[in-house]
Structure 1
């Protein structure tokens, strides 16, 4: 599985909770959230566009930083 890094404009635990709920719905993904640095790492075989669009559903600005 590929590990992707995203910057997500999260400001609080509520924001990271929304990201967690949305990513859990995808299934078959492993992820880590670094709230202070506003980073989300997602390990998945899914397409980057799918992951990006999924993250955007939480209503936050999302930027793809590449693979890690």
Structure 2
């Protein structure tokens, strides 16, 4: 599996909770959320576009940083 790093404009626990919910619904991914640094690292074989579109469902600005 590949680790993909995303910057997500999260400001609180509610924001990180929304990210967790959309990623858990997607399934087949493992992820870590670093709220202070506004980073989400996703371990998945899914296409980057799928991951990006899924993260955007949380309602926050999302930017793909690259593989880790």
Identify whether the pair has TM-score above 0.5, normalized to the shorter chain.
Answer: yes
Structure 2 unmatched ranges of 5 or more? none
Distance 1:44 1:9 in 2: 21
Q: Between Structure 1 and Structure 2, how many residues are aligned? A: 68
TM-score (norm 2): 0.99
RMSD: 0.3
List structure 1 segments (4+ residues) > 4 angstroms apart after TM superposition: none
1:6 aligns with 2:15: no
Q: Deviations over 1:20-43 (max 9, x none)?
A: 000000111000000000000000
Specify the SS of the correspondent of 2:20: helix
Distance 2:27 2:51 in 1: 12
Distance 1:65 1:47 in 2: 14
Distance 1:27 1:55 in 2: 13
Structure 1 unmatched ranges of 5 or more? none
> Where does residue 43 of structure 1 map in the other structure?
43
